[in-house]
Amino acid sequence: MLLNINTKTRYAEKRRTERLQSFGLDERALQDILFRSLDRLFPDDELILLMQSRSWQEEPDLMAIDKDGNLFIFELKAWESHSSNLLQVLRYGQIFGAMRYPELDALFKKATDPSQSLKVTHKAKFGIELSDEDFNRKQIFVVMTNGLDYRTREASRYWRSSGLDVRPWVYRIYAGGTDEMLLEMSPFRVLDNPYEDIAEGYYILNTNVSNTQQDHDDMLSHGKAAAYFDPWKFKIERLARGDVVFLYQSGVGIVAFGEADGKLVKAPYQGNSAHPDEEYSMNLQRFQRVVPSLTAAEIKKITGINHVFMSTMFGLDADSGKAIRKFIHDNR
């Protein structure tokens, strides 16, 4: 995450990320840039680089060993929104996951110094002596993906929840100065929210009914989107005029929606002067109740995505937002 901060007002705003095409680059160009910068990206104090991919070989872009002998398999082909990002790295798991120490040692010697064994290098770096059997007991899959590529990130989260150690290596791109592109990297991320970077004009907002019925009723009766107290209330500041907000009641589903008017309103929480400015809200134009409500199972079926509805507010990709709105229009 990158914040724009006004040093006079001290107001911070999350900066929106870009795609490579905005800078006249493609994914292969980014891959070339990253390979030239591996010394700055690769955590040499945590891993031993085992090998880099060779041309025309079915090999991962990088493989490395950690202090416990676990094999890290990296896929750096940053094809935005391509499911092959994840499928390719799993394919490499099939090929290299069965390798025993002699094969790993041979790869290491070929890529570095033939006179230096992997065991000796490992012990010198980490101070741990491992047996042959300790190497490659477990594989960790690291897949590079743009922060905007929610589909690959969602797939990574699914496979991780199923017991496969898949870790997204998230990069984000921002506009810099003239002829400049800013690249932010989040290597070795374990937990991930695939939707945190989405800002395509569609949001799901929890009505807070699990905490108090009054907040839920207030949103529905006044046709507004609201959140309360730090830091949750600041999510309402993200909304721009025309953004579609689906109000979601926990355990029930989407119960209403409308379009944000873009005017932030600050008020005491539930009218209590002891909590000034603890409610942030925006009125929702063209406000409409959804009867019967659109359940979580229906949302998953419509979008093809298993959303988690625990957070206060999260973004939807434009295709999903439009599909939900169309379904409501046609069926409610």
The per-residue pLDDT for range 285-322, each reduced to its tens digit, is 999 999 999 999 999 999 988 887 877 888 888 889 99
Helix axes 84-96, 150-161, angle to 10 degrees: 40
Which sign, positive or negative, has the C-alpha torsion 136, 137, 143, 147?
Answer: negative
Across the range 121-147, mean pLDDT stands at 87
pLDDT digits (tens, 9 = 90+) for 145-154: 777 677 777 7
DSSP labels, 273-312: TTSTT-EEEEEEEEEEEEEEEE-HHHHHHHHS------SS
Inter-CA distances, 143 with 35, 81, 199, Å? 15, 12, 23
Is 306:296 a contact under the CB 8 Å cutoff?
Answer: no
Q: What SS3 state is found at 238?
A: helix
Among 11-20, 116-125, 235-244, the minimum mean pLDDT is found in: 11-20
Across the range 52-69, mean pLDDT stands at 77
Mean pLDDT, the chain, whole residue set: 84
190 falls in which pLDDT band (50, 70, 90)?
low
What per-residue confidence (pLDDT) applies to 276?
93
Q: In the chain, what's the furthest Cα-to-Cα distance?
A: 76
Helices (H), 112-237: 118-126, 150-161, 213-222
Which sign, positive or negative, has the C-alpha torsion 210, 13, 317, 291?
Answer: positive
What per-residue confidence (pLDDT) applies to 43?
58
Across the range 67-76, mean pLDDT stands at 87
Question: Of the candidates 13, 17, 331, which has an alpha carbon nearest to the alpha carbon of residue 174?
Answer: 17
Q: What percent of the chain has pLDDT over 70?
A: 85
What per-residue confidence (pLDDT) applies to 283?
97
- According to DSSP, the β-strands at 253-260 and 265-267 are unpaired
Is 78:144 a contact under the CB 8 Å cutoff?
Answer: yes
| Contact residues for 177 (Cβ-Cβ < 8 A; gap 6+) | none
Higher pLDDT, 54 or 22: 22
Domains, the chain, in order of start with CATH, read 3-186 (no CATH), 202-331 (3.10.590.10)
Which sign, positive or negative, has the C-alpha torsion 266, 267, 269, 274?
Answer: positive
| Contact residues for 160 (Cβ-Cβ < 8 A; gap 6+) | 166, 167
